[in-house]
Amino acid sequence: MKIGDGALDIDGHLWTIPVEFRASLVLYLSQLGLSRLKPTLRISLLVGLILYVHQINRWELLLFYSGFLLCESDFRRRSLAPTTTTSISPISPSSSAFSTTTEPSRIWSSIHYMTFVLGLYLGSQPARDLEHAPGWRSLSTMIPSHINPRDRYFPNLGAILLIWSTSCYQPLQSIFSHPIIQYLGKISYPLYLMHGAVIHTVGYGIMELMWGSLGRDTVFKKEIGFGIAAIWVVIFVVWMADIFMRVVDTPTVKFAKWLEEKCTMET
Protein backbone atom coordinates (compact mmCIF):
# COMPACT_ATOMS: atom_id res chain seq x y z
CA MET A 1 0.00 0.00 0.00
CA LYS A 2 1.35 3.41 -0.98
CA ILE A 3 0.52 5.79 1.83
CA GLY A 4 1.52 8.93 -0.04
CA ASP A 5 -0.93 8.83 -2.93
CA GLY A 6 -3.49 6.46 -1.49
CA ALA A 7 -2.93 3.83 -4.17
CA LEU A 8 -3.83 0.27 -3.31
CA ASP A 9 -3.59 -2.80 -5.53
CA ILE A 10 -7.26 -3.84 -5.46
CA ASP A 11 -10.09 -4.14 -7.95
CA GLY A 12 -10.03 -0.97 -10.03
CA HIS A 13 -13.74 -0.47 -9.39
CA LEU A 14 -12.96 0.03 -5.70
CA TRP A 15 -10.44 2.83 -6.17
CA THR A 16 -12.33 5.20 -3.85
CA ILE A 17 -11.84 3.04 -0.74
CA PRO A 18 -8.22 4.10 -0.01
CA VAL A 19 -9.10 7.66 -0.99
CA GLU A 20 -12.01 7.73 1.46
CA PHE A 21 -9.95 6.05 4.16
CA ARG A 22 -7.21 8.66 3.96
CA ALA A 23 -9.69 11.54 3.84
CA SER A 24 -11.58 10.06 6.81
CA LEU A 25 -8.40 10.04 8.91
CA VAL A 26 -7.73 13.67 8.03
CA LEU A 27 -11.33 14.58 8.85
CA TYR A 28 -11.25 12.80 12.23
CA LEU A 29 -8.06 14.61 13.19
CA SER A 30 -9.57 17.93 12.10
CA GLN A 31 -12.73 17.27 14.12
CA LEU A 32 -10.61 16.44 17.15
CA GLY A 33 -8.72 19.69 16.81
CA LEU A 34 -11.79 21.86 16.22
CA SER A 35 -14.27 20.21 18.59
CA ARG A 36 -13.48 22.36 21.64
CA LEU A 37 -13.61 25.68 19.81
CA LYS A 38 -16.52 28.10 19.86
CA PRO A 39 -18.94 27.45 16.97
CA THR A 40 -18.19 30.69 15.14
CA LEU A 41 -14.44 30.14 15.31
CA ARG A 42 -14.82 26.46 14.38
CA ILE A 43 -16.86 27.31 11.29
CA SER A 44 -14.43 30.07 10.29
CA LEU A 45 -11.44 27.74 10.50
CA LEU A 46 -13.39 25.04 8.66
CA VAL A 47 -14.15 27.43 5.81
CA GLY A 48 -10.44 28.26 5.74
CA LEU A 49 -9.58 24.55 5.47
CA ILE A 50 -12.06 24.17 2.60
CA LEU A 51 -10.47 27.06 0.72
CA TYR A 52 -7.01 25.63 1.41
CA VAL A 53 -7.73 22.13 0.10
CA HIS A 54 -9.43 23.71 -2.92
CA GLN A 55 -6.26 25.60 -3.72
CA ILE A 56 -4.05 22.52 -3.35
CA ASN A 57 -6.39 20.48 -5.56
CA ARG A 58 -7.49 17.90 -2.99
CA TRP A 59 -11.02 17.28 -4.21
CA GLU A 60 -11.67 14.43 -1.77
CA LEU A 61 -10.79 16.58 1.25
CA LEU A 62 -12.94 19.36 -0.17
CA LEU A 63 -15.94 17.02 -0.11
CA PHE A 64 -15.22 15.68 3.38
CA TYR A 65 -14.68 19.13 4.88
CA SER A 66 -17.79 20.42 3.11
CA GLY A 67 -19.76 17.57 4.66
CA PHE A 68 -18.38 18.61 8.05
CA LEU A 69 -19.50 22.19 7.41
CA LEU A 70 -22.98 21.10 6.29
CA CYS A 71 -23.36 18.96 9.40
CA GLU A 72 -22.22 21.81 11.64
CA SER A 73 -24.65 24.18 9.91
CA ASP A 74 -27.49 21.71 10.33
CA PHE A 75 -26.84 21.33 14.06
CA ARG A 76 -26.85 25.10 14.47
CA ARG A 77 -30.04 25.45 12.42
CA ARG A 78 -31.85 22.86 14.52
CA SER A 79 -30.61 24.40 17.77
CA LEU A 80 -32.09 27.77 16.79
CA ALA A 81 -35.52 26.43 15.84
CA PRO A 82 -37.96 24.14 17.71
CA THR A 83 -37.89 20.66 16.23
CA THR A 84 -40.83 18.41 15.53
CA THR A 85 -38.80 15.30 16.34
CA THR A 86 -35.65 14.36 18.17
CA SER A 87 -35.18 11.18 16.19
CA ILE A 88 -32.01 10.65 14.24
CA SER A 89 -33.30 7.50 12.59
CA PRO A 90 -33.35 7.16 8.79
CA ILE A 91 -35.73 9.46 7.00
CA SER A 92 -39.32 8.24 6.87
CA PRO A 93 -42.29 9.71 5.01
CA SER A 94 -43.91 10.93 8.22
CA SER A 95 -40.89 12.32 10.03
CA SER A 96 -37.53 13.91 9.44
CA ALA A 97 -34.49 14.52 11.57
CA PHE A 98 -34.19 17.93 9.91
CA SER A 99 -37.77 19.20 10.05
CA THR A 100 -38.83 22.19 12.12
CA THR A 101 -42.14 23.56 13.26
CA THR A 102 -41.78 26.64 11.08
CA GLU A 103 -42.68 26.30 7.44
CA PRO A 104 -40.13 27.80 5.02
CA SER A 105 -41.24 30.84 3.08
CA ARG A 106 -42.02 30.61 -0.61
CA ILE A 107 -38.78 32.38 -1.36
CA TRP A 108 -36.71 29.83 0.57
CA SER A 109 -38.73 26.99 -0.91
CA SER A 110 -37.89 28.27 -4.39
CA ILE A 111 -34.24 28.67 -3.44
CA HIS A 112 -34.06 25.09 -2.19
CA TYR A 113 -35.73 23.71 -5.30
CA MET A 114 -33.51 25.74 -7.64
CA THR A 115 -30.41 24.74 -5.70
CA PHE A 116 -31.43 21.09 -5.95
CA VAL A 117 -31.93 21.35 -9.73
CA LEU A 118 -28.64 23.24 -10.10
CA GLY A 119 -26.90 20.51 -8.10
CA LEU A 120 -28.30 17.87 -10.45
CA TYR A 121 -27.13 19.85 -13.46
CA LEU A 122 -23.61 20.44 -12.15
CA GLY A 123 -23.38 16.83 -11.00
CA SER A 124 -24.11 15.71 -14.56
CA GLN A 125 -21.03 17.27 -16.13
CA PRO A 126 -20.31 15.45 -19.42
CA ALA A 127 -17.14 13.37 -19.44
CA ARG A 128 -16.16 14.75 -22.86
CA ASP A 129 -17.31 17.08 -25.64
CA LEU A 130 -18.35 19.80 -23.19
CA GLU A 131 -18.66 22.30 -26.02
CA HIS A 132 -21.65 20.40 -27.41
CA ALA A 133 -23.60 20.23 -24.11
CA PRO A 134 -25.96 23.11 -23.21
CA GLY A 135 -24.22 25.58 -20.92
CA TRP A 136 -21.06 23.59 -20.49
CA ARG A 137 -18.98 25.49 -23.03
CA SER A 138 -19.09 28.51 -20.71
CA LEU A 139 -18.92 26.56 -17.45
CA SER A 140 -15.81 24.68 -18.54
CA THR A 141 -13.93 27.97 -18.81
CA MET A 142 -14.68 28.69 -15.14
CA ILE A 143 -12.75 25.68 -13.85
CA PRO A 144 -9.56 26.99 -12.18
CA SER A 145 -6.38 26.12 -14.04
CA HIS A 146 -4.86 24.27 -11.08
CA ILE A 147 -7.75 21.78 -10.87
CA ASN A 148 -6.93 18.30 -12.14
CA PRO A 149 -8.79 16.21 -13.12
CA ARG A 150 -11.12 18.87 -14.41
CA ASP A 151 -14.12 16.56 -14.78
CA ARG A 152 -14.57 16.33 -10.98
CA TYR A 153 -14.81 20.05 -10.26
CA PHE A 154 -18.46 20.80 -10.95
CA PRO A 155 -19.79 17.36 -9.90
CA ASN A 156 -18.21 17.99 -6.48
CA LEU A 157 -19.96 21.34 -6.26
CA GLY A 158 -23.19 19.74 -7.43
CA ALA A 159 -22.99 17.11 -4.69
CA ILE A 160 -22.56 19.80 -2.03
CA LEU A 161 -25.56 21.73 -3.35
CA LEU A 162 -27.71 18.59 -3.42
CA ILE A 163 -26.90 17.71 0.19
CA TRP A 164 -27.45 21.27 1.40
CA SER A 165 -30.81 21.74 -0.33
CA THR A 166 -32.07 18.32 0.74
CA SER A 167 -31.04 18.69 4.38
CA CYS A 168 -32.76 22.07 4.60
CA TYR A 169 -36.10 21.26 2.96
CA GLN A 170 -38.51 18.51 3.98
CA PRO A 171 -40.29 18.07 0.59
CA LEU A 172 -36.94 17.28 -1.04
CA GLN A 173 -36.19 14.75 1.70
CA SER A 174 -39.42 12.92 0.89
CA ILE A 175 -37.92 11.95 -2.48
CA PHE A 176 -35.57 9.64 -0.61
CA SER A 177 -38.11 8.27 1.87
CA HIS A 178 -39.63 5.70 -0.48
CA PRO A 179 -38.98 2.12 0.73
CA ILE A 180 -37.13 1.20 -2.47
CA ILE A 181 -34.83 4.22 -2.15
CA GLN A 182 -34.26 3.44 1.52
CA TYR A 183 -33.39 -0.16 0.67
CA LEU A 184 -30.95 0.88 -2.06
CA GLY A 185 -29.33 3.22 0.44
CA LYS A 186 -29.05 0.36 2.91
CA ILE A 187 -27.21 -1.83 0.40
CA SER A 188 -25.30 1.01 -1.27
CA TYR A 189 -21.90 -0.03 0.06
CA PRO A 190 -22.38 -3.73 -0.82
CA LEU A 191 -23.55 -2.57 -4.26
CA TYR A 192 -20.31 -0.68 -4.65
CA LEU A 193 -18.23 -3.65 -3.51
CA MET A 194 -19.98 -6.26 -5.64
CA HIS A 195 -20.69 -4.49 -8.93
CA GLY A 196 -17.21 -4.97 -10.39
CA ALA A 197 -17.06 -8.67 -9.58
CA VAL A 198 -20.54 -9.26 -11.03
CA ILE A 199 -19.71 -7.38 -14.23
CA HIS A 200 -16.58 -9.48 -14.77
CA THR A 201 -18.06 -12.86 -13.81
CA VAL A 202 -21.60 -12.53 -15.15
CA GLY A 203 -22.01 -9.33 -17.13
CA TYR A 204 -19.56 -9.93 -19.95
CA GLY A 205 -20.80 -13.50 -20.39
CA ILE A 206 -24.44 -12.42 -20.67
CA MET A 207 -23.49 -9.68 -23.10
CA GLU A 208 -21.68 -12.11 -25.38
CA LEU A 209 -24.64 -14.50 -25.12
CA MET A 210 -27.06 -11.74 -26.15
CA TRP A 211 -24.88 -10.62 -29.02
CA GLY A 212 -24.47 -14.22 -30.13
CA SER A 213 -28.25 -14.68 -30.16
CA LEU A 214 -29.33 -11.31 -31.54
CA GLY A 215 -26.24 -10.42 -33.53
CA ARG A 216 -24.34 -7.16 -33.41
CA ASP A 217 -23.90 -6.35 -37.06
CA THR A 218 -26.00 -3.19 -36.59
CA VAL A 219 -25.93 -0.52 -33.91
CA PHE A 220 -29.55 -1.32 -32.99
CA LYS A 221 -28.87 -5.01 -32.39
CA LYS A 222 -25.72 -4.22 -30.46
CA GLU A 223 -27.51 -1.76 -28.18
CA ILE A 224 -30.47 -4.11 -27.62
CA GLY A 225 -28.09 -6.88 -26.57
CA PHE A 226 -26.24 -4.52 -24.28
CA GLY A 227 -29.51 -3.28 -22.73
CA ILE A 228 -30.78 -6.79 -21.97
CA ALA A 229 -27.41 -7.75 -20.47
CA ALA A 230 -27.43 -4.58 -18.36
CA ILE A 231 -30.84 -5.47 -16.91
CA TRP A 232 -29.58 -8.90 -15.86
CA VAL A 233 -26.41 -7.39 -14.41
CA VAL A 234 -28.47 -4.99 -12.27
CA ILE A 235 -30.56 -7.89 -10.97
CA PHE A 236 -27.48 -9.95 -10.11
CA VAL A 237 -25.68 -6.99 -8.51
CA VAL A 238 -28.64 -6.18 -6.23
CA TRP A 239 -29.00 -9.85 -5.32
CA MET A 240 -25.32 -10.28 -4.48
CA ALA A 241 -25.27 -6.98 -2.59
CA ASP A 242 -28.20 -8.12 -0.46
CA ILE A 243 -26.43 -11.40 0.33
CA PHE A 244 -23.21 -9.54 1.18
CA MET A 245 -25.12 -7.18 3.48
CA ARG A 246 -26.75 -10.04 5.39
CA VAL A 247 -23.76 -12.39 5.54
CA VAL A 248 -20.82 -9.99 5.86
CA ASP A 249 -21.71 -6.35 6.38
CA THR A 250 -24.34 -6.56 9.14
CA PRO A 251 -22.48 -9.22 11.22
CA THR A 252 -19.26 -7.21 10.89
CA VAL A 253 -20.93 -4.05 12.19
CA LYS A 254 -22.45 -5.97 15.10
CA PHE A 255 -19.09 -7.52 15.94
CA ALA A 256 -17.36 -4.13 15.83
CA LYS A 257 -20.01 -2.69 18.15
CA TRP A 258 -19.62 -5.63 20.54
CA LEU A 259 -15.84 -5.29 20.52
CA GLU A 260 -16.09 -1.56 21.19
CA GLU A 261 -18.31 -2.18 24.20
CA LYS A 262 -15.86 -4.76 25.56
CA CYS A 263 -12.82 -2.53 25.10
CA THR A 264 -14.12 0.82 26.35
CA MET A 265 -14.76 1.97 29.89
CA GLU A 266 -18.24 2.85 31.07
CA THR A 267 -18.77 6.56 31.67
Could you read off the pLDDT tens digit of each residue along the chain, which spans 267 residues? 344 455 556 677 888 999 999 999 999 999 999 999 998 999 999 999 999 999 999 999 999 999 999 999 888 888 876 655 444 444 444 444 444 445 668 898 999 999 999 999 999 988 888 778 889 989 988 999 999 888 899 999 999 999 999 988 889 988 888 999 999 999 999 999 999 999 999 999 999 999 999 988 899 999 999 999 999 999 999 999 999 999 999 999 999 999 999 998 876
Shared domain check, 145 and 220: no
Q: Are residues 8 and 74 in the same domain?
A: yes
Task: Please tell me the pTM assigned to this model.
Answer: 0.80
- Is residue 144 one of the residues assigned to a domain? yes
3 and 77 housed in the same domain: yes
- For position 88, what pLDDT does the model report? 44
Residue that is last in its domain, among 27, 52, 83 = 83
Domain count within the chain:
3
3-state secondary structure of 101: coil
Segment holding 23, helix H or strand E: helix 16-34
Domain termination residue (choose one: 176, 211, 226): 176
What is residue 100's predicted lDDT score, i.e. its pLDDT? 45
Residues 223, 259: Cα–Cα separation, whole Å: 50
- 120-150 burial, b at 16+ Cβ within 10 Å, e below that, comes to ebbbebeeeebeeeeebeeebeebeeebeee
Same domain, 201 and 245: yes
Structural domain including 220 reads 188-263
